[in-house]
């Protein structure tokens, strides 16, 4: 099974959440502009889009219409994000057989 691919739309990099998601077994693309989110979504098999709490773009609803989307709150903890993703996306196993 391939790793679920995510887009993290944020204007604050570096971000520890990215490293934690990689460790949890997700492939994560960073996007710092709305156009980057659209580009990545068009060229990859994106499972979900994570939207940072600082993002207040009027066209975000367009993304929400076409992709599973999680809007993060400022107090979001990585454990909560991974728990939500695990219930929305296929189980990812980081162990090799």
Which CATH number among 3.40.1010.20, 3.40.1620.10, 3.30.1490.20, 3.40.50.2300 corresponds to the domain 5-88? 3.40.50.2300
CA-to-CA distance for 83 and 92, rounded, in angstroms?
A: 12
CA-to-CA distance for 12 and 79, rounded, in angstroms?
A: 20
Contact (Cβ atoms closer than 8 angstroms) between residue 55 and residue 63: no
Domain boundaries, the chain: 5-88
CA-to-CA distance for 7 and 11, rounded, in angstroms?
A: 13
Query: Furthest-apart CA pair in the chain: how many Å?
Result: 45
Q: What is the pLDDT along the chain (97 residues), one digit of tens a residue?
A: 578 999 999 998 888 888 899 999 899 999 999 999 999 999 999 999 999 999 987 888 888 888 999 999 988 899 999 999 988 886 544 443 3
């Amino acid at each position: 099974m391939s790793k679920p691919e995510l887009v993290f739309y944020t204007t604050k990099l570096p971000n520890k959440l990215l490293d934690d998601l990689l460790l949890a077994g997700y492939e994560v693309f960073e996007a710092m502009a709305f156009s980057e989110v659209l580009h990545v979504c068009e060229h990859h098999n994106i499972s979900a889009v994570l939207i940072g709490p600082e993002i207040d773009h009027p066209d975000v609803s367009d993304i929400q219409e076409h992709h599973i989307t999680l809007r993060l709150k400022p107090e979001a903890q990585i454990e909560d994000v991974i728990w939500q993703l695990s219930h929305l996306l296929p189980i990812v196993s980081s162990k090799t057989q």
